[in-house]
């Protein structure tokens, strides 16, 4: 018998090829998740499985490479939404999977993304798990290796010093040393998660977005119970999650992937827009209108200082429009709005610096908000994506034309 306090929802994160699915199978002691041996054909869809392990009911949520640098927004967005619905109201632990290998620029990019998308609160629920443990030197522990690579050491410290190592290929049978045994390492990992849950007062990691999704699933369950049929609680739960997934994807398809992942992992700047969008469309409309109005007001700006900022704003607008995507309109408007801030600095350099600091935020607000508002009436994710893309493109072109007009006037 497993009590409520012994249940664990664990999200496994990492880049493609790090060994996430293999780690999940190692924890379960069986092949619950499919393993792909080609890096380009790794896990493409989020999946969840539940098993009993050492007296605990463990649900593992295996994810695609959320921290990959070559995945498109179209590919990643549905899987982030699926992960959110699978783990609502929140995971008890995040396992961040890295390989024991030579540290390269690619690994640095992954760690940079982890730092970007995780809030300080989420790190309290995270543990680093290294795979390919056979690459450790004879007699070396993972803790000793970590101290030799500062970026990795800093990441482990952010996770409260929690790190473990497994080897999904060589550490299965009759190890020479207990440390180099998957059975030993998995038990130590589960103990670490138990201790972490206790330190977090028995709760799971959650935030406004996850709580909103929890309510959506609850509402779906109530609707299903009112329909004719004889379904088990588990069947009702699974159907409710499917319904919530469809509703979420339609609502959030217009929001940038960065904003969506940021909302899931608790980054306030990226996630605020998504949370507002989940709750009600009215304040989001006001937010987008206010941001767009501020950007477009640049047309009335005058003076040499404003000119410098506006010129830089025009460049940012062009870049945003060319780049495309959910944040295109926001990046363009963000560049223009930042130009106004350059009046205080009085130089072109100040305008550029101001734009660099604010364009990402403005992009998330205006581009994501525009896409969200446009997609609200859609009946399918495909229709929502088309409507959002068209709205963001129109917004980007409008602001780009405005910025070009201002630049032409200034440099006559």
Domain end position, chosen among 164, 182, 199: 199
- Residue 262, pLDDT > 70, answer yes
Cα separation of 210 and 233, whole Å? 21
**Residue 330: its pLDDT value, please?**
36
- Residue 190, pLDDT > 60, answer yes
Cβ neighbours for 31, distance < 8 A, ≥ 6 positions apart? 25
Judgement on whether residues 264 and 352 belong to the same structural domain of the protein: yes
Judgement on whether residues 56 and 180 belong to the same structural domain of the protein: yes
Its pTM stands at 0.70
Most confident of 58-67, 175-184, 288-297: 58-67
Judgement on whether residues 194 and 212 belong to the same structural domain of the protein: no
Q: What is the mean pLDDT of residues 239-267?
A: 83
Judgement on whether residues 250 and 342 belong to the same structural domain of the protein: yes
Q: Which stretch of 66-75, 161-170, 224-233, 389-398 has the lowest confidence by average pLDDT?
A: 389-398
Judgement on whether residues 216 and 331 belong to the same structural domain of the protein: yes
Domain end position, chosen among 151, 181, 199: 199
Cα separation of 73 and 249, whole Å? 13
Domain end position, chosen among 177, 199, 221: 199
Bridge-based pairing state of the strands 47-53 and 126-131: unpaired
Judgement on whether residues 183 and 231 belong to the same structural domain of the protein: no
Q: Which stretch of 99-108, 227-236, 318-327 has the lowest confidence by average pLDDT?
A: 318-327
Judgement on whether residues 187 and 273 belong to the same structural domain of the protein: no
Report pLDDT digits (tens) over 156-172: 999 999 999 999 888 87
Report pLDDT digits (tens) over 322-361: 333 333 333 333 333 333 333 333 444 444 334 433 444 4
**Residue 302: its pLDDT value, please?**
36
Return mean pLDDT, the chain: 73
Domain residues for the domain of 306 are 207-412
Contact call for residues 200 and 125 (beta carbons, < 8 A): yes
Judgement on whether residues 195 and 233 belong to the same structural domain of the protein: no
Judgement on whether residues 77 and 93 belong to the same structural domain of the protein: yes
Judgement on whether residues 120 and 91 belong to the same structural domain of the protein: yes
More confident residue, 322 or 252: 252
| 74: CATH | 3.40.50.300
Judgement on whether residues 262 and 293 belong to the same structural domain of the protein: yes
Q: What is the mean pLDDT of residues 56-63?
A: 94
Domains identified in the chain, total number: 2
Judgement on whether residues 178 and 212 belong to the same structural domain of the protein: no
- Residue 114, pLDDT > 80, answer yes
More confident residue, 12 or 67: 12
């Amino acid at each position: 018998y497993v009590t409520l306090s012994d249940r664990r929802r664990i999200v496994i994160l990492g880049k493609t090829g790090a060994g996430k699915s293999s780690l999940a199978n190692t924890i379960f002691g069986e092949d619950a998740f499919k393993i792909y041996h080609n890096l380009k054909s790794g896990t493409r869809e989020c999946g969840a499985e539940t098993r009993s392990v050492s007296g605990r009911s463990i649900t593992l949520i295996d994810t695609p490479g959320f921290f990959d640098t070559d995945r498109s927004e179209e590919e990643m967005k549905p899987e982030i939404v699926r992960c959110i619905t699978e783990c609502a109201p929140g995971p008890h632990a995040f396992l961040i999977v890295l390989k024991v290998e030579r540290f390269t620029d690619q690994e640095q990019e992954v760690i940079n993304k982890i730092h970007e998308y995780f809030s300080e609160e989420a790190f309290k629920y995270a543990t680093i798990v290294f795979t390919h443990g056979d690459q450790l030197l004879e007699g070396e522990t993972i803790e000793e290796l970590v101290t030799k690579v500062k970026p990795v050491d800093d990441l482990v410290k952010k996770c409260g010093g929690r790190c473990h190592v497994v080897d999904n290929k060589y550490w299965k049978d009759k190890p020479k040393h207990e440390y180099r045994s998957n059975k030993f390492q998995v038990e130590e990992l589960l103990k670490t998660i138990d201790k972490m849950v206790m330190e977090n007062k028995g709760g799971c990691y959650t935030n406004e977005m996850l709580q909103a999704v929890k309510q959506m699933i609850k509402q779906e369950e109530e609707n299903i119970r009112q329909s004719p049929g004889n379904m088990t609680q588990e069947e009702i739960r699974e159907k409710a999650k499917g319904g919530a997934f469809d509703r979420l994807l339609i609502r959030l398809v217009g929001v940038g992937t960065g904003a969506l992942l940021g909302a899931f992992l608790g980054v306030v700047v990226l996630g605020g827009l998504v949370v507002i969008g989940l709750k009600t469309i009215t304040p989001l409309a006001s937010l987008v209108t206010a941001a767009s109005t501020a950007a477009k007001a640049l047309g009335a700006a005058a003076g040499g200082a404003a000119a410098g900022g506006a010129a830089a704003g025009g460049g940012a607008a062009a870049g945003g429009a060319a780049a495309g995507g959910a944040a295109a309109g926001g990046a363009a408007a963000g560049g223009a709005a930042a130009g106004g801030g350059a009046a205080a600095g009085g130089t072109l350099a100040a305008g550029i610096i101001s734009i660099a600091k604010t364009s990402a935020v403005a992009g998330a607000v205006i581009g994501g908000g525009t896409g969200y508002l446009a997609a609200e009436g859609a009946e399918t994710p495909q229709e929502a994506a088309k409507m959002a893309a068209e709205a963001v493109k129109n917004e980007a072109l409008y602001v780009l034309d405005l910025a070009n007009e201002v630049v032409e006037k200034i440099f006559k």
